[in-house]
Amino acid sequence: MVRRAKAGGRAERGLTLIELSTVIVILALVVTVATAYLDETLPSSRLEAAARSLASEIDSLRTFSIAQGQTYRIEYDVSNARYRTVSPFKADGRLAETAEDRLTQDWNLLPQGVVLEDVVLGAGERVPEGIVTVEFSPLGSSVEHRVHLKRLRPERRFTISVAGLTGQVRFVEGYEERGEVTEDDFPK
């Protein structure tokens, strides 16, 4: 720090160019480190939030099917990383008589950097592209299926599993495949 004498005898305080430059360099380093940390953290939270949101949407659809006593659908557009729900009702609230009359919601896009890797139906029919439609009956049952979400960089996955008989929804980290049923799966 430099002190300069003023005409009245008092010293004026200030920073030298070197001190000011040092502070700017330190601030730039802090911003760089914080940005790198956020680049790692945000994609991870985006993937988990997308998995939670989709699981919640599926569970709500099942609940609506039971409460309304009607068949609801969810459509997964694997190729374009999006999904939407289809109601059994028309826009005016009356029951639709044809599939074309059903009220279709707007597509829900997955966050940037998150893709629908595939949808696996039943015992193992893997659908890696196109549109997959799954119905929930008035009893809440559905086709057993697993939806695999994937973050591209750094790679990480979540699996959303829907039980066929009950329609129960759960999600786990990783790519979960349906295991073969063995005697160990049943209580003795």
Domains in the chain with CATH codes:
8-179 (3.55.40.10)
Instruction: Supply 181's token pair.
Output: 């049923």
Q: What is the pLDDT of residue 33?
A: 75
Residues of the chain with pLDDT under 50: none
Q: What is the pLDDT of residue 37?
A: 63
State the Cα–Cα distance between residues 38 and 93, nearest whole angstrom.
45
DSSP-based helix, strand, coil % in the chain, nearest 5? 30, 30, 35
pTM value is 0.73
Residue whose tokens read 């919601």: 105
- Answer for the pair 108, 82: CB distance below 8 angstroms, yes or no: yes
